[in-house]
Structure 1
Amino acid sequence: MKILFLTVVLSLFSILQAQETLPTERFGGTYVVKAIAADITREEKPKDMSPLTITNLDNGNLEVKFTFKKHGQCKEIKLILEKTNNPRLFSVVSPEGKRQVLVEETSVRNHWIIFCEGELHGKWAKIAKLVGPSTEENPKAFEDYKKFVSAKGFNEEKINIPIQAESCTPEQA
């Protein structure tokens, strides 16, 4: 009887402990941008994307880093996404403006949707990215993404598949 009681208690403890892990606590590492939908002008849309590096910080915030080339120069962007009362919602303030960032888990392991809405260069913008661990296509994750962007008011024609760019280092010209 004691063994049965101990087994039940340990099972309940492990279930409760698993529920304490927030989805965004599993969101970290290097991710490839697989799809992007945005309501910004054609000139502002990225044609190629380097991988994103997401780091969970001790205080619950997220650090996001990526690189891109502009006029032959490598630029690195590093943003701190500050946690809010909603464990999936973050805020970010940068020189481009203030935005809210929603991190949504898809039904496919390690595939996430990052939805950003707010001010970008003085204009209101919304952007939704599907990210995953590799360049390999995943039809189920893409279906989840299409449903999400449709619910956020994007037309399916707004979805672009970016060219995968290598990360550069800011010292490169």
Structure 2
Amino acid sequence: MKILFLTIVLSLFSILQAQETSPTERFGGTYVVKAIVADIKREKPKFISPLTITNLDNGNLEVKFTFNKHGKCKEIKMTLEKTNNPRLFSMVSSEGRHQVFIEETSVRDHWIILCEGEIHGKYVKVAKLVGPSTEENPKAFEDYKKFVSIKGFNEERIHIPIQAEACTPEEA
């Protein structure tokens, strides 16, 4: 009887732990930015390199990407700090505190990243669709369009960036 009770308790415990797993724990690896939209007019990035997302042991996420500025490769590294909401992260930059919301689409390995915060004294929202490859996925793009519409973005401002190869920073 004790063995049966212990088996049931352990089974319930493992089920409860599985339910506590955040969808963002599967959000890691290299992703390309497939679409981007902002709620303010700004210069659209012509080329975007892949993002590398790493799940850290403490539940935070590390995001890295590179870009060429005046012929020099620069690497940007950010830490997204976990919050009580498993899909919401906090990020601190030189501009202040930002919120980053990560949403799954109905397509495996395709995600929407919504960033909100103050930049140069203005409140800004930016939403990106990211996926594991440059291959188009109409269903993921449809999910993205619905999401940005609900969040109040103008669909006509959706920009499809040209994918750039990641460069190697000179400091490396």
Cα 1:148–1:29 change in 2 (3 A) is: same
SS of residue paired to 1:146? helix
Residues 40-59 of structure 1: matches in 2 within 5 Å?
40-43=40-43, 45-59=44-58
| Correspondence for 2:27 | 27
| Correspondence for 2:78 | 79
| Correspondence for 1:122 | 121
Unaligned 5+ segments in structure 2 are none
In 1, the alpha carbon distance for the partners of 2:23 and 2:91 equals: 19
SS of residue paired to 1:134? coil
Aligned residues: 171
- The 8 Å contact of residues 29 and 54 in structure 1, kept in 2 or not, is answered as yes
**Deviations 1:98-128 (Å, cap 9, x if unpaired)?**
2100000111110000000011233211000
- The 8 Å contact of residues 62 and 80 in structure 1, kept in 2 or not, is answered as yes
What is the Cα deviation at residue 15 of structure 1? 4.2
Residues 93-172 of structure 1: matches in 2 within 5 Å?
93-171=92-170
In 2, the alpha carbon distance for the partners of 1:121 and 1:51 equals: 25
TM-score, length basis structure 1? 0.88
- The 8 Å contact of residues 63 and 77 in structure 2, kept in 1 or not, is answered as yes
Unaligned 5+ segments in structure 1 are none
In 2, the alpha carbon distance for the partners of 1:107 and 1:11 equals: 29
What is the Cα deviation at residue 170 of structure 1? 1.3
Give the superposed CA RMSD.
2.3
**Deviations 1:25-71 (Å, cap 9, x if unpaired)?**
1100000100001123333x312110000001111110000011111
What is the Cα deviation at residue 10 of structure 1? 8.0
Greater Cα shift, 77-86 or 13-22? 13-22
Determine what percentage of the aligned residue pairs are the same residue: 84
TM-score, length basis structure 2? 0.89
Q: Specify the code of the residue in structure 2 equivalent to 1:78.
A: K
In 2, the alpha carbon distance for the partners of 1:97 and 1:166 equals: 29
| Correspondence for 1:38 | 38
| Correspondence for 1:63 | 62
